[in-house]
Amino acid sequence: MKIILVVGARPNFMKVATVYKAFKKNYPLVNVKICHTGQHYDAKMSHIFFNDLEMPQPDFYLGVGSGSHAVQTANIMIEFEKVCLEEKPDVVLVSGDVNSTIACGLVAAKLQIKLGHIESGLRSFDRKMPEEINRILTDCISDYLFVTEKSGLENLKNEGIPQEKIFFTGNCMIDSLIDFLPKAQNSEIKQKLGINEKYILLTFHRPSNVDNREFYNGFQKLIQRYSNNFKFVFPIHPRTRKNLETFGINISNYPNLILTEPLGYIDFLRLIKDSFCVITDSGGIQEETTYLGIPCVTIRENTERPITVEVGTNYLAGTDFNNVFNIVDDIINNNAKKGKIPFLWDGKAGERVAKIIIEKFNNHNN
């Protein structure tokens, strides 16, 4: 049996790493190969993530780089089809909601290769988000849909996906978090950044925020409002950095704002774990903070991960910074929600995914 695991952007790495390890540990005769599309093409960052997650370097690197959604998706399809025609895998496994997910999924489906999708069924119900289109379409063409939370089960049922394709496996990204928490504890990132006191961790990359001049007005008010009591740590996404320059906004002169380049997985995990709270527009960080019990304020109008709000530590603040301030004030006043760890976020999701793929393959061939 031959499986190709696809990674394209950094959030994919954490989800795929645990499945790769599960196959290597429990099914050593299965031929598992990794294809990196190069959608996130910062070689240094990719290398750090593979090292941090103790993954081998990919067997295939497509090197597609950036471009419009259409150009990037098309280039991935062209290059990944060559890999599939040469390798003839039995299963292609994609994860998440990036362009690599739908591009490689389409190639597999059209070549009639079995397709598995890690993190199926998540929905923001906002089709202005490119990721939402990618999620919906990938789920439509997948043979094995691996679900992280109960909303995913409900969404797939409502969309008419046959029940026999859907598997509630838990959250592969949480597997990686659990595996690497001890390693993160030994990270020296706080010493490198000179952090000795309470800090708030910031991450922003979503175009609806960082391409909007008005967003930075709220961002600056946030820093001014709380910087007497907290440091802020802000690893800047390349898109955000570019827009700050385009809008002529200088944030480097705030005394308690620590700006860094994007960080590797281990260093960033340490910063989440030790933070007072996280303010973000990310998807995966909503899940990581929920597992770690860290308050998370999500500056978005919707979330595809509602379990983090319903039972976790995530607050959906919308994009009005006055709401953000009210939530942060509540957290400061010890009124933060306690939160619980969602069902099946237990570090064994990758093993469940691998077991299901093996069983389905064996049943199909018997």
For residue 236, the Cα-to-chain-centroid distance in whole angstroms is 16
The one-character DSSP state at 84 is H
Q: Which amino acid is at 97?
A: D
Architecture category of domain 2-171+345-365 in CATH:
3-Layer(aba) Sandwich (3.40)
**Active-site residue identified among 40, 205, 237, 364:** 205
pLDDT at res. 178 = 98
Picking from 170, 137, 164, 129, the residue whose alpha carbon sits closest to that of residue 152 is: 170
Per-residue pLDDT reduced to its tens digit, 24-56: 999 999 999 999 999 876 666 677 888 999 999
Picking from 292, 16, 345, 318, the residue whose alpha carbon sits closest to that of residue 149 is: 345
Give the confidence band of 80 by pLDDT, cuts at 50, 70, 90. very high
**Which residues, 6+ apart, have CB-to-CB distance to 321 below 8 Å?**
218, 219, 221, 222, 299
Classify residue 347 as left (phi > 0), alpha (psi -120 to 50) or beta. left
In this model, does residue 366 exceed pLDDT 70?
no
The one-character DSSP state at 248 is T
Give the confidence band of 116 by pLDDT, cuts at 50, 70, 90. very high
- Asked if the domains 2-171+345-365 and 181-332 are classified in one and the same CATH topology, the answer is yes
Q: Which amino acid is at 267?
A: D
Domain range summary for the chain, segments of one domain joined by + = 2-171+345-365, 181-332
For residue 355, which phi and psi values (nearest 5 degrees)? -65, -45
Handedness of CA 331, 337, 343, 348 (dihedral sign): positive
205 is catalytic: yes
- Predicted TM-score (pTM) of the model is 0.96
> For residues 293 and 338, what is the distance between their CA atoms, to the nearest angstrom?
7
Percent of the chain with pLDDT over 70: 98
Handedness of CA 299, 305, 310, 314 (dihedral sign): negative
Domain 181-332 classification at class level: alpha beta
